[in-house]
Amino acid sequence: AGDIFQDNAVLSNPVAGLVIGVLVTVLVQSSSTSSSIVVSMVSSGLLEVKSAVPIIMGANIGTSVTNTIVAVMQAGDRNEFRRAFAGATVHDFFNWLSVLVLLPLEVASGYLYRLTKLIIDSFNIQTGADAPDLLKVITEPLTKNIIELDSSVIRDIATGDPAARNKSLVKIWCKTEKITNLVNITVPGFANCTPGALCWEEDGQIWTQENQTETNNLQKCTHMFVYADLPDLAVGLILLALSLLALCTCLILIVKLLNSMLKGQVAVMIKKVLNTDFPFPFAWVTGYLAMLVGAGMTFIVQSSSVFTSAITPLVGIGVISLERAYPLTLGSNIGTTTTAILAALASPGETLANSLQVSLCHFFFNISGILLWYPIPFTRLPIRLAKALGNCTAKYRWFAALYLILIFLLFPLAVLGLSIAGWQVLVGVGVPVLVLAIFVIVVNIMQKRCPRFLPSFLRSWDFLPTPLHSLKPWDKVVTASMTFCRTRCCCCCKCCKEKEKDEEKDDMKTKDKSLEMYDNPALTIEDEAKVTATHL
259 and 369 inside one domain: yes
pLDDT: which is higher, 255 or 504: 255
Q: Is residue 110 part of a domain?
A: yes
Q: What is the rounded average pLDDT of the residues 139-155?
A: 78
Within a domain: residue 499? yes
Reply yes or no on whether the pLDDT at 367 is more than 90.
yes
Closest of 146, 141, 134 to residue 246, by C-alpha: 146
Domain interval for residue 512: 489-535
Residue 245, Cβ density class (10 Å: 0-12 exposed, 13-18 middle, ≥19 buried): exposed
Q: Is residue 476 part of a domain?
A: no
The mean per-residue pLDDT over the stretch 130-159 comes to 72
The total number of residues shown for the chain amounts to 536
> Nearest-CA neighbor of 102 among 385, 304, 361, 291?
361
Read off the pLDDT of residues 57-86 as tens digits, 9 standing for 90 and up. 998 898 888 888 888 888 878 888 999 999
Half-sphere exposure of 495 (CA within 13 A, CB side): 4
Mean pLDDT of the chain: 79
Task: Give the confidence band of 205 by pLDDT, cuts at 50, 70, 90.
Answer: confident
Residues in Cβ contact with 102 at an 8 Å cutoff, skipping those fewer than 6 apart: 57, 112, 365, 368, 369, 372
Q: What is the mean pLDDT of residues 14-28?
A: 87
Q: Is 233 within the bounds of a domain?
A: no
**What is the rounded average pLDDT of the residues 119-128?**
72
Structural domain count of the chain: 3
Residue 523 pLDDT > 90: no
Same domain for 347 and 265 = yes
Same domain, 439 and 365: no
Q: Distance between CA atoms of 28 and 34, rounded to whole angstroms?
A: 7
Q: 413 with 437, same domain?
A: no
What percent of the chain is modeled with pLDDT above 70? 81
Q: What is the pLDDT of residue 90?
A: 93
Residue 120 is assigned to a structural domain of this protein: yes
Alpha carbons 299 and 131: distance in angstroms, whole number: 10
Residues 415 and 428 in one domain: no
> Running DSSP on this structure, what letter comes out for residue 194?
P
Last residue in a domain, options 373, 403, 421? 421
pLDDT at 262 over 70: no
My answer on whether 493 and 442 are in the same domain is no
The band of 519, judged by pLDDT with boundaries at 50, 70 and 90, is very low
When pLDDT is cut at 50, 70 and 90, the band that residue 146 belongs to is confident
Per-residue b/e over 386-398, b at no fewer than 16 CB within 10 Å? bbebbebbbebbb
Same domain, 378 and 338: yes
Residue 351 Cα to chain centre, angstroms: 27
CA distance 193 to 123: 46
Q: From CA 105, how far away is CA 369, in angstroms rounded?
A: 12
The whole-number pLDDT of residue 513 equals 42
Last residue in a domain, options 432, 454, 476: 454
Q: What is the spatial distance between Cα 69 and Cα 405, in angstroms, rounded to a whole number?
A: 11
Q: How far apart are the first and last CA of the chain?
A: 74
DSSP string, 459-487: SSSTTS-GGGT-SHHHHHHHHHHHHHHHH
Residue 375, number of CB atoms within 10 A of its CB:
12
- Domain annotation covers residue 56: yes
Q: For 305-325, write each residue's pLDDT tens digit.
A: 888 888 888 888 888 889 989
Does any domain span residue 313?
A: yes
Residue 462 lies in a domain: no
Q: Are residues 411 and 525 in the same domain?
A: no
Kindly report the number of other CB atoms within 10 A of residue 315's CB atom: 29
Predicted confidence (pLDDT) at residue 128 exceeds the cutoff of 50: yes
Whether residues 445 and 530 fall in one domain: no
The separation between CA 481 and the C-alpha centre of its own chain, rounded to angstroms, equals 30
Say yes or no: 286 and 395 in one domain.
yes
The pLDDT of residue 369 is: 93
Question: Based on the domain organization, do 24 and 129 belong to the same domain?
Answer: yes
Between 532 and 246, name the one with better pLDDT: 246
Per-residue model confidence (pLDDT) at position 498: 54
pTM of the predicted structure, to 2 decimals: 0.73
Whether residues 390 and 525 share a domain: the answer is: no
Mean pLDDT of 371-394: 91
Report pLDDT for 8: 59
